[in-house]
Amino acid sequence: MIIEPRMRGFICLTAHPAGCEQSVKNQIEYVKSKGAIDGAKKVLVIGASTGFGLASRISSAFGSDAATIGVFFEKPPLAGKTASPGWYNSAAFEKEAHKAGLYAKSINGDAFSNEVKRETLDLIKADLGQVDLVIYSLASPVRTNPNTGVTHRSVLKPIGNTFTNKTVDFHTGKVSEVSIEPCSGDDIENTIAVMGGEDWAMWIDALKAENLLAPGANTVAYSYIGPSVTEAVYRKGTIGRAKDHLEATAFEISDSLADINGKAYVSVNKALVTQASSAIPVIPLYISLLYKIMKAEGIHEGCIEQIQRLYQQRLFTGGEVPVDEKGRIRIDDWEMRDDVQAQVAQLWEQATTENLAEIGDLEGYRKDFYNLFGFDLAGVDYNAEADEMVQVESIS
């Protein structure tokens, strides 16, 4: 079938298999171009199909020749109906990994559930024996706690006061003011239950209990801090509380891994266009201004550049892993540079519908957004018939 983008709000209802494949191949080429990384060899990536998790899987496989198991929650294709992009990404990843002689298997299901944890543990036991790196990169609006059966929904809201600021509809380029009401009731607890560290700890406990973590194994989860313009809705909002919890959980996990000399890290990453971030008000405007400045300064990075640098220059240097005063790895260092932030703050004041295309990188934002779904990639013939029924080799 001929596949075209069908946008609805912050999501695209279709995905292009050949475009997703091209995007994965581009990421693989980037990692290879940066040379070998003396990193982990047996890697479990939870949230492995898009964004930072996919970039982690690619960096491990093609930077360190690692065997990878990827866990994700994606929609397979139906005849005449495309899969979700993470499905096509994973199909392309496995195809390339297998071609390169690398072990790669995937599990598609709810990572929060006991069943998917069980299946993953059994697969590690049967195929890899142990893993020496666990990347935790889930972004989800909802989690059912397998022990209580309670379903929690996360919210992206400020705490205490209504937050009013500028935002942009990146499809139309219209800059407007948005007001977000403060959270109420159990919003904070629910957001922590979904995006905090509880499930990360459950995974590590389960792996450790069955001796599936190699001596010296590391685990890394991803966090975000960001600038003052997004603070009320992000870092000081409900999602920020969940990130606080995630960061605190790293210390608890490190304690629990002391006997195997393992360690848990949180890496604070840069703001990027992913399915998760495009749904947060205010962030798309910030990202389009940030992109403009970082590109002009020659320091712009996407997910793959971020994770490749995280691996090569932070995690796997052979020396101490550098961390900030709160114990976090910082790979958002270029985003948070004083000169970059000062320029963003200045542009933020000026931004209007009329001037955003010029002072911001709305085009870059849109391109990245289309790319997430496999559209607008160079080298792909979008007029050609595409096979929507592409399968993930280890799953079919």
Count the Cβ atoms, other than its own, within 10 Å of residue 156. 20
Residue 274 annotated in ligand binding: yes
Residue 324 annotated in ligand binding: no
Cβ 221 to ligand NAI shortest distance, Å? 7
Question: Which tokens belong to 338?
Answer: 């004083």
Residue 224 annotated in ligand binding: yes
**x/- letters, 74..93, toward ligand NAI (CB under 6 A):** x-----------x-------
**110 near ligand NAI (CB under 6 A):** yes
**191 near ligand NAI (CB under 6 A):** no
Restricted to residues 349-368, the positions that interact with ligand NAI (CB under 6 A) are none
Using CB under 6 A, count the residues that bind ligand NAI.
29
Question: Which tokens belong to 377?
Answer: 């990639």
Cβ 355 to ligand NAI shortest distance, Å? 24
Label each residue of 238-300 as H, E or C.
Answer: HHHHHHHHHHHHHHHHHHHCHHHCCEEEEEECCCCCCCCHHHCCCHHHHHHHHHHHHHHCCCC
Stretch that binds ligand NAI, among 6-14, 106-114, 149-157, 182-190 (CB under 6 A): 106-114
**x/- letters, 18..47, toward ligand NAI (CB under 6 A):** -----------------------------x
**373 near ligand NAI (CB under 6 A):** no
Query: What's at 22, amino acid-wise?
Result: Q
Restricted to residues 129-148, the positions that interact with ligand NAI (CB under 6 A) are 137-140
Cβ 225 to ligand NAI shortest distance, Å? 8
Beta bridge partners of 186: none
Nearest CA-CA partner of 20 in 90, 80, 81, 78: 90
Distances (CA, A) of 293 to 118, 288, 296, 339, 350: 45, 9, 5, 10, 14
Of the listed 30, 88, 136, 234, which one is catalytic? 234
Q: CA–CA separation, 194 vs 112, rounded Å?
A: 9
> Where are the strands (E) in 33-99, listed by range?
42-46, 67-72
Cβ 299 to ligand NAI shortest distance, Å? 16
**104 near ligand NAI (CB under 6 A):** no
Stretch that binds ligand NAI, among 69-77, 146-154, 293-301, 361-369 (CB under 6 A): 69-77
Confirm whether 103 is a catalytic residue. no
> Where are the strands (E) in the chain, listed by range?
7-8, 11-12, 42-46, 67-72, 104-108, 131-136, 142-144, 151-153, 163-169, 174-180, 213-223, 263-268, 329-330
Q: Which residues contact 9 (CB under 8 A, 6 or more apart)?
A: none
Nearer to ligand NAI (CB atom), residue 68 or residue 214: 68
**230 near ligand NAI (CB under 6 A):** no
Nearest CA-CA partner of 168 in 364, 14, 305, 302: 364
- Among 20, 44, 48, 362, which residue interacts with ligand NAI (rule: CB under 6 A)? 48
**277 near ligand NAI (CB under 6 A):** yes
Nearest CA-CA partner of 26 in 46, 55, 67, 6: 55
Beta bridge partners of 8: 11
**52 near ligand NAI (CB under 6 A):** yes
Residue 36 annotated in ligand binding: no
Q: How far is C-alpha 354 from the geometric centre of its chain's CA atoms? A: 32
**72 near ligand NAI (CB under 6 A):** yes
Q: Known catalytic residues?
A: 234
Instruction: Report the binding-site residues.
Output: 47-52, 73-74, 110-111, 138-139, 224, 243, 272-274
**Binding positions for substrate:** 224
**Binding-site ranges for ligand NAI (CB under 6 A):** 47-53, 71-74, 86, 110-112, 137-140, 222-224, 269, 271-272, 274-277
